[in-house]
Amino acid sequence: MAGLLSLSKTMQAARCPTDELSLTNCVVTNEKDFKSGQHVTVRTTPTHAYVFTVKTHNSVVPSTIAFSLPQRKWAGLSLNQDVEVSNYTFDTSRQYVGTMSLEIDFLQKKSADSNPYDTDKMAIEFIQHFNAQAFCLGQQFVFSFSDKVFLLVIRDIEAMDPSILKGEQGSSKKNKINVGLLHGNSQMIFEKAESSSISLVGKAKTRGARQSIINPDWNFERMGIGGLDKEFSDIFRRAFASRVFPPDIVEQMGCKHVKGILLFGPPGCGKTLMARQIGKMLNAREPKVVNGPEILNKYVGESEANIRKLFADAEEEQKRLGANSGLHIIIFDEIDAICKQRGSLAGSTGVHDTVVNQLLSKIDGVEQLNNILVIGMTNRPDLIDEALLRPGRLEVKMEIGLPDESGRVQILNIHTAKMKQAKMLAADVDIKELAVETKNFSGAELEGLVRAAQSTAMNRHIKASTQVEVDNEKAQSLQVGRSDFWASLENDIKPAFGTNQEDYSSYILNGIVKWSNAVSDILGDGELLVQQTKNSERTPLVTALLEGPPHSGKTALAAQIAEDSQFPFIKICSPDKMIGFSETAKCQAIKKIFDDAYKSQLSCVVVDDIERLLDFVPIGPRFSNSVLQALLVLLKKAPPRGRKLLILGTTSRKDVLQEMGMLDAFSTSIHIPNIARGEHLMEALELLGGFQEEERAHIAKAVKCKAVWIGIKKLQMLIEMSLQMPPQYKVQKFLALLTEEGALGSDKRVAI
């Protein structure tokens, strides 16, 4: 028997002093022994114990405990029998009554009648009468209702699970208990006793209305879902909470069930998996899974008929069973294929429009169904007709985004579980380390990573001969190790929404040359921008413009700041990737980069060479207004809630951007200077290498009284050109190149 037992005392069984007290279901003692409202355990034999709630009465002799006749029959007690009585304390987290099934009959057969008794009113009165009392499985007691006395027997007690509406894992399981404490939200089910003539009406007379739709055996890991705990909890709260409650309560509240869910997000993040597993979690009909394009048919009216067929079973069952109808789940994969914006397809036959109309009428039309749940999936929610997304239709819109670190741990554990069981996962594989290194990987990409590591490991055991053979002896000891995962990370699997290191590493091929403190200060300012993006809740969008003369190293510095940020998403929006694009195509390409950035928690976008993106030429002057407007909007558009974005722009024409009104779109601007001092030029030459100390001394002497003005990128190019000359001519060639490029003037600007 659950509960906390205290020291017991021996008491003597007695008859209940009054008829009124016998109807309370309480044992009666003297107040010197126990207080009213206490719960006690009465032990009649070493193996039989019963829990009761206490009331006190002056007529009861101290050290005696009074029972009603049904209580004595149930516990097998005789008058004056000695029993052991002790305090009983309920565990309120596990022993509140959720649902209690009671068998009911007239106490005396001669008082039987054929009048119908309303079980809903009976349940209300029962809870008022017996609130905060203890009840045991199999207990017999009497209950007075409508001037009749009934005999009740407890057939089943289910504990209330307070976490059921939070959508927590395992919250749906019904726990059967032997002892429970009744409370105001307990559910009563009255069932007619066998051979009884009692007539019951109302919704509290059948278990069918009380069955939970939640399968008690569902489990995230076993279902293969990882990293979606929060999303699943939110879906549960919105879509299933109302279905857990009994239909009569839902009806009294005037509550309508959620009939549609839209799952959207990047490809490979688990939308289809979640929709498929929702059907397994629910005690519902087998879900109907249909791909969007399958609905479409070349014959007139067939596409609409296909929609009607999907809902036919649910319609028939609702007509037959009403509120007690089971839940029918219809899953649309790639729903954007059939539910595009109406009127958006010029020159089409209008099939898409009529399919959308048919679907709308079935979900939320005049003869609406209340026993359906439509789940749609897409990675293009912007294409779906807005009428389908309003409340009453696909009203729960849930983004299934890229998993965070803890989610990636769950997913990797799921995909390596069999290897662990078979002891084929090497001890040096650290799942948490892999989760840290796989930023912005989708669930599908993590699964691909595990497969690639397995392939790498298996490849070691293949003999390289004239034919492909497996070394069976070594294959028996096959293990997938840390090196296999790292090789797969470097060579095989790259995240679609992640950082493409090859993209920006080419911009910092020769590293950053810190020819003066100005370069260190710029990198320091960049670090501040990164920290602001990471830490500030007030500025989820941080934008900075790196401006300066041509060849001053703006793009390299922007790429270095981006790399040092270690953000999971880094992309460079560069004009060299958009050669030959029309204005519209260029706008779409830029928008896609930003849309991808919004899907990551932390993102950095480098908008390189803005004047080239704008097709600016000084003759005319001419530029693309469409691209300008797109950039202005995207530079000011805050990322979605919970996401943070750093935008770094580079330009050599600050004056042009000022005229276009783009300068105001950036939070701040950082000036990237040219080399303008002789000592800075010599510092750069020393850091870049290529010249010996004597050669550098000769160059220093040659530029001593000359003005200096050159960008670091241009300087690197001139050094490399001069190094192609024979050693005795390279200094002379370097100085000639400096003069030709206008890097050295005749006037002395800054001396060494």
620-639 pLDDT, tens digit each:
878 999 999 999 999 999 99
Residue 94: the pLDDT is 78
Scanning 547-624, the segments in alpha helix (DSSP H) are 554-565, 583-598, 610-613
- Picking from 129, 102, 61, the residue whose alpha carbon sits closest to that of residue 198 is 102
193 touches 107 (CB < 8 A)? no
Per-residue CA distances from 272 to 32, 291, 295, 374, 682 (Å): 66, 11, 18, 13, 61
Question: Rounded CA gap, 173 and 164, in Å?
Answer: 9
CA–CA–CA angle 584, 587, 593 (5° rounding): 140
- Beta-carbon count within 10 A of 13 CB: 21
Question: Rounded CA gap, 38 and 51, in Å?
Answer: 11
Instruction: Report how far Cα 126 is from the mean position of its chain's Cα atoms.
Output: 43
Residue 746: the pLDDT is 57
Residue 29: the pLDDT is 93
Number of residues written out for the chain: 752
DSSP 456: H
Q: E strands of 317-400, at which residues?
A: 328-333, 372-378, 396-399
Residue 523: the pLDDT is 94
Question: Coil, helix or strand for 323?
Answer: helix
Residue 206: the pLDDT is 54
Q: At 524, which helix (H) or strand (E)?
A: helix 517-535
Beta bridge partners of 547: 651, 671
Helices 517-535 and 554-565: crossing angle in degrees, nearest 10, is 40
- Beta-carbon count within 10 A of 400 CB: 26
Backbone angles phi, psi at 139, to 5 degrees: -65, 140
Backbone angles phi, psi at 325, to 5 degrees: -65, 145
Beta bridge partners of 29: 56, 65
83 touches 168 (CB < 8 A)? no
Question: Rounded CA gap, 167 and 235, in Å?
Answer: 8
**Active centre residues (catalytic):** 554-555, 608-609, 636, 713
Q: State if pTM tops 0.75.
A: no
- Picking from 45, 27, 9, the residue whose alpha carbon sits closest to that of residue 134 is 27
Question: Rounded CA gap, 283 and 258, in Å?
Answer: 17
Scanning 333-459, the segments in alpha helix (DSSP H) are 351-364, 405-421, 431-437, 443-459
Q: Mean pLDDT in each 10-residue stretch from start to end of the chain (752 residues)? A: 61 90 90 90 89 92 91 89 90 80 87 82 83 89 88 87 49 74 80 83 56 50 64 75 64 78 84 73 71 72 82 81 72 81 58 77 76 85 82 84 84 88 86 86 88 86 65 72 87 72 69 89 94 92 95 92 88 90 92 88 92 89 91 93 93 92 93 89 88 89 82 90 90 88 60 35
Question: Rounded CA gap, 14 and 300, in Å?
Answer: 84
565 touches 604 (CB < 8 A)? yes
Q: At 292, which helix (H) or strand (E)?
A: helix 292-295
- Picking from 4, 79, 87, the residue whose alpha carbon sits closest to that of residue 39 is 87
Question: Rounded CA gap, 549 and 715, in Å?
Answer: 13
The token pair at 323 is: 């509120």
Strand order, beta sheet including 260-264: 288-291, 328-333, 372-378, 260-264, 396-399
- Picking from 548, 558, 571, the residue whose alpha carbon sits closest to that of residue 714 is 548
Residue 1: the pLDDT is 46
654-670 pLDDT, tens digit each:
999 999 999 999 999 99
Residue 325: the pLDDT is 67
